[in-house]
Amino acid sequence: MEFAAFIVFFLIACTLAAVLLGISSLLGQKRKAVREMDIYESGVNPVGSATRQYDIKFYVTAILFLLFDVEIVFLLPWALAYKDTTNTGFMIGGFVFFMVILLVGYIFVINSKALKWEE
């Protein structure tokens, strides 16, 4: 039942966006101009193709985001279950261990300067 609510919401949002685009493409004037078809680079002719090498740091950022995100996702059930447990010492022990490992990883990342963007 709730899933139906989500699907309806999603479909109406998609339809809205599609309708807006449709209206614009119907109502906009159509002209055949020549200069507007080029790649825009501040008015000069484009230099080189769009395929160039990008810094590996973007990829490293994405991978490290994934890993730390998974760690935080592991913490979410912990945070929710803490209220219900009787053995809080056990939970805290696990939390401390978890945090120690996370901090070791984090300090390694910072020390290695893998994410240090220079100017």
Partner 1 sequence: MAIDILLTLLTVVFSLMVVFSKKTVVAAFSLLMTLLVIAMIYFQLGTVFLSAVQVLVNAGAIAILFVFVMMLINLEQFQNNREKSKWKLVVSTLTMLVLLGVFALVINNNIEALSVVNLTDNSMKTLFAKLFDVYYLPFEMATVLLLAAIVASIVITSHDRTEKLEEK
Partner 2 sequence: MLEAAIEILLKTVVILALPLGALPLIIHVERRGAAFMQKRLGPNRVGPFGLLQPLADVAKFMFKEEVHPSHVKPFFYTAAPVVALVVALLPLACIPVAGPIEAFGRTIYPEVFRSDMGIFYAFAVSALGSYGILLAGWASNNKYSMLGALRACAQMVSYELSLSTSVVAMIFLYGTNDIHLMVSAQTGYWFGVIPQWGFFYQPVAALLFLVGIFAESNRLPFDLAEGESEIVAGYHLEYSSMKFALFFMAEYIHMIALSALFIIMFFGGYSLLPGFDLIAGNNPTLIVLLQVASLTIKIALMIWFFVWVRWTLPRFRYDQLMNLGWERLLPLGIANLIVTVLFVYFRNR
- Interacting residues with partner 1 (CB under 8 A): 3, 50-51, 54, 56, 58-60, 62-67, 69-71, 73-74, 76-78, 80-81, 84-85, 90-91, 94, 97-98, 101-102, 104-105, 108-109, 112, 114
What span, in angstroms and rounded, lies between the C-alpha atoms of 49 and 41?
12
What span, in angstroms and rounded, lies between the C-alpha atoms of 60 and 90?
35
The 82-101 contact track toward partner 2, x by CB under 8 A, reads xx----x---x--x---x--
**Cα first-last separation, the chain:** 52
The 16-55 contact track toward partner 2, x by CB under 8 A, reads xxx-xx-xxx-xxxxx----xxxxxxx---x-x-x-x-x-
User: Are the CB atoms for 52 and 58 separated by under 8 Å?
Assistant: no
